[in-house]
């Protein structure tokens, strides 16, 4: 390749990589796999090395990640948050060690850690309390995500020692099992799926509503100190991690000191085998020079430090054949195509099925029955078809089309504008009924222990139930004749059904399976209305005015309760003694802030957010997570974020914590 040809290819690669970065970092919706991206960037790097005149300062090989989104306040980092140089084989690792030796580091001692595939964050504590958090952004400027990170339950809100200042770098991640459930819920709702756990973590933190972040159950591991005051200077990376652990910050226990190349490769191979058993997703191993003093001499490029490297595991993929495509029907009527595959061993298990998500995915990848395909596990959990191998087609492959009629009840199917899922329109569809009952009895809904999918199927096949209300008419004698249920099990199940009558309105609303109404929405509605009948009488405008209930959810709720069969279902559930009382009719606490709505923004001086919330509620206030026209006070702390701008635009009064304490003490609200 001559320089002119190289210039054309460099331009092509640069344009493509910038496009892929935009999708990955700004939209949290990657267009290609991490491995394919790495290979393109590696090709660009090799061309720039071969033809130095083609290297540009803004090349993807010279710049870090993404950029700070304008919808978030921007935060300048105290020190650059750099990326890491990639290694793809043992030769790359050997070359890295040799560079350290040539730079004057004799017998380099390296600390190996799993390379977690999450979202990089800078988290700040002031006087020992959580104060702020920001994304990496472009390495110099990130996004202020303080309110969202504060909603992560696993984040320590207070250090074990009250340091004046500590900013640490860490990785937020979503556990694999929760990632799988999150995508299952999104698929059932017809929402876009997360491509991988990193995508899910980023999408969860870069939210405008912190309650969405809180619902995702994120976790964090910390691994570096960006700036500090009141801490002794650690001598090594190992000591640095011990200091973080002593302060109460979670650090990854899967780390090992490696004195030579052999120990590096041995631990790497061990972790390659163990990765599937980890609760989080990893895509490689990070090797850092353990002693800290030599790092100052080695320095960094504009993109990564010279004292660390990231070995990327090659993607675990397998080749197999699509033998058939089956369409299932969920409780909301969503049709989900699933590929039946020739069984193949992948990432420690035999795979014979893979979800194809929706008809757009099938069309975009041109997946046909009979195709030879490459599959992998998204986040080591969910089997997915990565791509088709068209060169292996024989001409006998069959193009697949989603059915115009439901494969279970033969009713018409339809796809609403803006949705990815096609749906069966028949609410009495047997498949929808089965999934609806399985959801209704699940642990987070009515929690009927012992009533699993197999028992639900038997109840439907025997004609013992026609809807969820029918569960409450079942007798011990009827249950005892089912397969795998004797007298004792039937008695236990009858007791469990009876106990579920008192779960409360919030769980009932979630269990009814109203589209877009999840656990959180059920709690919000239960807190607002005294009973289900008051909720049934609410129109869309009233529902939309409730914090956290948007127009799409409001339309879904009002539409569901407007249907005669659903009204009849509620009547039958009520006749069965199911509790339909909410919290909205109960008296609010008496106090100076009674009937006032308060929103907290920023870090309050000398008190944690949860403690402040408890005091406000004790004074009679309702503490909300978002500013609206119904907000009475915005309680301002340090680094308040975007809520202040919205409060100002709506004319909401802003008060300091000191002023709020005076209001609570003097009763002047």
pLDDT tens digits along 423-455: 998 988 999 999 999 999 999 899 999 999 999
Span 294-352, pLDDT tens digits:
998 899 987 889 999 999 888 778 999 999 999 999 888 889 999 999 999 887 678 99
Chain-wide mean pLDDT for the chain? 87
- Bridging pattern class, strands 110-116 and 282-289: antiparallel
Dist CA 488 CA 249 (whole Å): 48
Read off the pLDDT of residues 145-159 as tens digits, 9 standing for 90 and up: 998 898 888 899 999
Q: Distance (Å, rounded) from C-alpha 436 to C-alpha 565?
A: 15
Contact 171, 118 (CB under 8 A): yes
pLDDT at 668 > cutoff 50: no
Q: Give dist(CA 578, CA 573) in Å, integer.
A: 6
Token pair, residue 200, equals 């899910």
Average pLDDT over residues 386-407: 94
Helix (H) or strand (E) holding 432: helix 430-440
Contact predicate 283/272, CB 8 Å:
no
* Residue listed under structure tokens 């040539």: 102
pLDDT digits (tens, 9 = 90+) for 204-242: 888 766 777 777 788 999 999 999 998 989 999 999 999
Residues of the chain above pLDDT 90, percent: 49
Determine contact, residues 580/532, Cβ cutoff 8 Å. Answer: yes
Q: Give yes or no: 530 in active site.
A: no
C-alpha angle with apex 334: 330 to 336, nearest 5 degrees? 85
Neighbouring residues of 261: CB distance < 8 A, sequence distance ≥ 6: 90, 93, 94, 97
CA-based Rg of the chain, rounded to a whole angstrom? 28
pLDDT at 563 over 50: yes
Residue 29: its pLDDT value, please? 64
- Of residues 448 and 612, the one with the higher pLDDT is 448
For residue 415, give both structure tokens. 């796809």
669 pLDDT tier (thresholds 50, 70, 90): very low
Question: From start to end of 79-173, where are the E strands?
Answer: 86-87, 110-116, 119-126, 129-135, 141-143, 165-173
What are 593's two structure tokens? 């802030």
Q: Which of 115, 288, 523, 643 is catalytic?
A: 115
Confidence of residue 25 (pLDDT cuts 50, 70, 90): low
- Token output for 558: 């009002």
> Residue 596: pLDDT band by 50, 70, 90 thresholds?
confident
Q: Is 419 helix (H, G, I), strand (E, B) or coil?
A: coil
Q: Which two tokens stand for residue 464?
A: 């013992």
Complete domains list, the chain, with CATH: 3-54 (1.10.287.610), 74-312 (3.30.470.30), 317-414 (2.40.50.140), 430-575 (1.10.150.20), 597-666 (3.40.50.10190)
pTM: 0.56
How far is residue 10 from each of residues 38, 51, 532, measured CA to CA in Å? 15, 10, 62
Count the Cβ atoms, other than its own, within 10 Å of residue 4: 8
Q: How far apart are CA 136 and CA 509, in angstroms?
A: 39
Helices 657-666, 609-618: inter-axial angle, 10-degree rounding: 20
Query: b/e for 32-68, b at 16 or more Cβ within 10 A?
Result: bbbbebbebbeebbebbeebeebeeeebbbebbbbbb
Q: Which is it for the CA torsion 219, 224, 226, 227, positive or negative? A: positive
Residue 571's φ and ψ, nearest 5 degrees, are -60, -45
Tokens of 32: 């290609």
**C-alpha distances in Å from residue 298, one per residue of 115, 176, 304, 346:** 22, 37, 11, 41
How far is Cα 265 from Cα 96, in angstroms, rounded to an integer?
13
Q: At what angle do helices 453-461 and 430-440 cross, to 10 degrees?
A: 140
């Amino acid at each position: 390749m001559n320089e002119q040809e190289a210039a054309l290819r460099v331009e092509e690669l640069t344009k493509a990589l910038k496009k892929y970065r935009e999708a990955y970092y700004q939209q949290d919706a990657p267009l290609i796999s991490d491995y394919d991206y790495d290979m393109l960037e590696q090709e660009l790097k090799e061309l720039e090395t071969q033809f130095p005149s083609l290297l540009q300062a803004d090349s993807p090989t010279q710049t870090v990640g993404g950029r700070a989104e304008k919808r978030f306040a921007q935060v300048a980092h105290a020190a650059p948050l750099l990326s890491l140089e990639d290694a793809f084989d043992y030769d790359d690792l050997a070359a890295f060690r040799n560079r350290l030796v040539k730079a004057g580091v004799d017998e380099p001692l390296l600390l190996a850690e799993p390379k977690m595939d999450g979202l990089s964050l800078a988290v700040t504590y002031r006087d020992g309390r959580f104060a702020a958090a920001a994304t990496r952004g472009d390495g110099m400027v990130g996004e202020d995500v303080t309110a969202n990170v504060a909603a992560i339950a696993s984040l320590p809100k207070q250090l074990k020692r009250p340091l004046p200042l500590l900013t640490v770098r860490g990785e937020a991640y979503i556990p694999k099992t929760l990632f799988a459930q999150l995508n299952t819920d999104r698929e059932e709702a017809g929402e876009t799926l997360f491509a991988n756990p990193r995508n899910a973590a980023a999408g969860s933190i870069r939210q405008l509503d912190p309650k969405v972040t809180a619902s995702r159950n994120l976790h964090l591991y910390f691994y570096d100190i960006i700036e500090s005051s009141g801490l002794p200077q650690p001598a090594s990376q190992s000591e640095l991690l011990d200091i973080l652990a002593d302060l109460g910050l979670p650090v990854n226990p899967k780390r090992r000191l490696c004195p030579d190349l052999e120990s590096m490769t041995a631990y790497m191979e061990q972790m390659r085998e163990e990765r599937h058993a980890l609760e989080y997703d990893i895509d490689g191993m990070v090797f850092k020079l353990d002693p800290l003093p030599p790092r100052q001499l080695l320095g960094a490029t504009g993109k990564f430090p010279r004292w660390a490297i990231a070995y990327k595991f090659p993607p675990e993929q397998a080749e197999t054949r699509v033998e058939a495509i089956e369409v299932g029907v969920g409780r909301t009527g969503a049709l989900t195509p699933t590929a039946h595959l020739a069984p193949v061993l992948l990432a420690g298990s035999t795979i014979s099925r893979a979800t194809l998500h929706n008809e757009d995915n099938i069309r975009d990848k041109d997946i046909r029955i009979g195709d030879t395909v490459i599959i992998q596990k998204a986040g080591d959990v969910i089997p997915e078809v990565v791509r088709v191998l068209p060169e292996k087609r024989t001409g006998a492959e069959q193009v697949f089309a989603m059915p115009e009629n439901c494969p279970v009840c033969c009713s018409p199917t339809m796809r609403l504008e803006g949705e990815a899922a096609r749906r069966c329109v028949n609410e009495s569809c047997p498949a929808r009924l089965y999934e609806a009952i399985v959801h209704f009895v699940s642990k987070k809904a009515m929690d009927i222990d012992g009533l699993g999918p197999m028992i639900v199927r038997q109840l439907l096949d025997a004609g013992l139930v026609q809807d969820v209300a029918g569960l409450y008419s079942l007798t011990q004698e009827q249950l005892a004749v089912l397969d795998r249920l004797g007298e004792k099990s039937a008695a236990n199940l009858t007791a469990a059904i009876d106990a579920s009558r008192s779960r409360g309105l919030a769980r009932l609303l979630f269990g009814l399976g109203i589209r877009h109404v999840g656990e959180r929405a059920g709690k919000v509605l239960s807190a607002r209305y005294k009973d289900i009948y008051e909720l049934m009488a609410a129109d869309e405008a009233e529902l939309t005015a409730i914090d956290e209930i948007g127009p799409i959810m409001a339309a879904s709720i009002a539409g569901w309760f407007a249907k005669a069969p659903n009204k009849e279902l509620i009547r039958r559930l009520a006749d069965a003694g199911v509790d339909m009382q909410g919290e909205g009719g109960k008296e609010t606490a008496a106090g100076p802030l009674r009937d006032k709505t308060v929103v907290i923004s920023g870090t309050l001086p000398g008190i944690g957010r949860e403690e402040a919330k408890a005091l406000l509620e004790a004074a009679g206030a309702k503490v909300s997570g978002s500013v609206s026209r119904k907000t009475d006070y915005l309680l301002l702390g340090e680094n308040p974020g975007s809520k202040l701008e919205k409060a100002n635009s709506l004319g909401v009064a802003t008060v300091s914590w000191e002023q709020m304490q005076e209001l609570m003490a003097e009763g002047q609200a």
